[in-house]
Amino acid sequence: MGILDKLKKFLPKRKEPELKNTVPKEKENIRKIFGMYCNANHETTDNKLCPKCTALLTTVMIKIQRCPYGIGKPICDKCETPCFGENQTKEFREIMQSAQKKMLFSHPLMAVKHKLASLSVDYAKAQHDKNSTEKQKAQEEKVKSRIANAVRSPKSKSKKRRKK
Ligand SMILES: [Zn+2]
Burial label for 30, CB within 10 Å (0-12, 13-18, 19+), is buried
The pLDDT, as a whole number, for residue 145 is 83
What tens digit of pLDDT does each residue of 33-82 get? 999 899 999 999 998 999 999 999 999 999 999 998 888 888 888 888 88
Decide if 23 contacts 71 (C-beta within 8 A). Answer: yes
Q: What is the pLDDT of residues 83-104, one digit of tens each?
A: 999 999 999 999 998 877 776 7
Q: How far is the CA of 39 from the centre of ligand 1 (A)?
A: 7
Lowest mean pLDDT among 6-10, 47-51, 116-120, 131-135: 116-120
Average pLDDT of the chain, as a whole number:
79
Give the distance (Å) from ligand 1 centre to CA of residue 76: 19
- Structural domains counted in the chain: 1
Residue 74 makes CB contacts below 8 A (sequence gap 6+) with 80
44 occurs within a structural domain: yes
Assess if residue 151 is contained within a domain: no
Q: Of 64, 84, 82, which is closest to residue 21 (Cα–Cα)?
A: 64
Cα 44 to ligand 1 centroid, rounded to whole Å: 7
Q: Report if residue 92 sits inside a domain.
A: yes
Q: End-to-end alpha-carbon separation of the chain, Å? A: 80
